[in-house]
Amino acid sequence: MLTNTYQQATRLLATGVALLLLAGCGFHIRGDFQVPPNLTEVAINAPKRSDVAAALHNALELRGIAVVNYAIDIPIIEIGEDKLDRRTLSLLPSGQVAEYEFIYTLPVTFTDSSGRVSQQVIQLTRDYQDDPNFALAKTREFELVISEMRNDAVRRTLILMNQYLRN
């Protein structure tokens, strides 16, 4: 009984020390980062009805950054037209496509408040297995894959913006 209590106390102490070390070294969960304290508002310039721009707008507001109309001395994020290409990876014995690779490309331009410009191209790839016997389910899966790729592009845009504005 005493040994069991001692083991539990040792585990609890070891876990506490590990958490303190992680917090002390500056470790952050990916996607969870500190925005520069001077960044309180930003303008987004994007094509109308852009799903990426809407998701970026929400992500910025969640981090306490106001999205405003263009004005002088305000950082700008310009989102270009996103593009989805697909490449055949494998075929079934019948000659039908068994697997695709989706290539999602999003051009992004950052302009800081002093007018300095940085252009980036975010490119993501995903493998997608197709099965013509389950066309309806695969259509829904395709929509989910594209949605995930857009969300990943938004996260990468935020990370790139954070790095750019800190320099």
Helix (H) or strand (E) holding 45: strand 41-45
pLDDT score recorded for residue 32? 55
Selection from 150, 158, 148, 167 nearest residue 62 by Cα: 158
The answer to whether residues 106 and 79 touch, using CB atoms and an 8 Å cutoff, is yes
- Write down the number of H helices and E strands in the chain: 3, 6
What does the domain layout of the chain look like in residue ranges?
1-30, 37-166
Mean pLDDT, the chain, rounded, equals 84
Q: Is the pLDDT of residue 123 over 80?
A: yes
pLDDT band at 30 (very low <50, low <70, confident <90, very high): low
pLDDT digits (tens, 9 = 90+) for 50-104: 899 999 999 999 888 889 988 778 889 999 999 999 998 888 888 888 888 999 9
The answer to whether residues 106 and 80 touch, using CB atoms and an 8 Å cutoff, is yes
pLDDT band at 156 (very low <50, low <70, confident <90, very high): very high
Selection from 153, 154, 124, 147 nearest residue 58 by Cα: 154
Helix (H) or strand (E) holding 146: helix 135-166
Selection from 87, 105, 106 nearest residue 97 by Cα: 87
* pTM (predicted TM-score): 0.73
Q: Residue range 121-132: average pLDDT?
A: 87
CATH number of 37-166: 3.30.160.150
pLDDT score recorded for residue 58? 92
Calpha distance 163→165 (Å, rounded):
6
